[in-house]
Chain A
Amino acid sequence: DSGVTQTPKHLITATGQRVTLRCSPRSGDLSVYWYQQSLDQGLQFLIQYYNGEERAKGNILERFSAQQFPDLHSELNLSSLELGDSALYFCASSVQAEAGGYNEQFFGPGTRLTVL
């Protein structure tokens, strides 16, 4: 167990709908990352938050948004869902110094999203 929790574990919804995925980082970790893992595209970095602020963006669609709250948990919002959004969504957290740099990140168990 990495200490990172994600809810829900599974989510089944229909095209056009909106869902929210939740992540709680390890105690003390200020940085949260979101990833999408689909069969045909591998692991893709979506976005990073540090202490409530967006810090880096990857291949995140405009239909997707995220935020990190004062208690450091994070939510990934996916709207106008399409069949191709079906994937495993991971969040990861790490200790990260304000000055940047990198520390090992710990992945949560993932949320499996199925769009029908």
Chain B
Amino acid sequence: GENVEQHPSTLSVQEGDSAVIKCTYSDSASNYFPWYKQELGKRPQLIIDIRSNVGEKKDQRIAVTLNKTAKHFSLHITETQPEDSAVYFCAAVITPFRTGNQFYFGTGTSLTVIP
């Protein structure tokens, strides 16, 4: 089955600096890669996603890159703010035609933005 590794497990940055979180996956059938943000005591929320036919996607201060050949994808947060502090999860999703979606999550990165 799919195996997703996520690094680093913890990350501290100064406010205004950039943060990068990296994930690798093993199954080339994975074709969808969402990123979730989970604040303490709250539910995960989708912040950005990328499909396998796209190499990069950006939404304001957040960007995701995907290298299908190397089987890795990364989350980039620029100009970090204290409210970016949370746990971030990557996922690799296999979405076969006419069947269900199989989700495989990374182990999470706890990001702390220091004011």
- Across-interface contacts of A50 in B (CB, < 8 A): 100
The verdict on A110 contacting chain B, using a C-beta distance below 8 Å, is yes
Q: Which of B15-23, B61-69, B76-84, B90-98 binds A?
A: B90-98
The distance in angstroms between the C-alpha atoms of A90 and B96, with both chains bound, is 23
Size of the A side of the interface (Cβ < 8 Å), in residues, is 27
The distance in angstroms between the C-alpha atoms of A2 and B45, with both chains bound, is 9
Please, which residue of chain A has its CB at the minimum distance from the CB of B42?
A109
Measured CB to CB, the residues of B under 8 A from A are: 32, 34, 36, 43-46, 49, 89, 93, 95-108
Known: A96-B101, A100-B98. 6 other contacts (CB 8 A): A33-B101, A42-B106, A42-B107, A50-B100, A56-B99, A110-B43
| Pairs of residues from A and B, 8 with the lowest C-beta to C-beta distance, nearest first | A56-B100, A55-B100, A45-B103, A107-B43, A48-B100, A43-B105, A42-B107, A100-B97
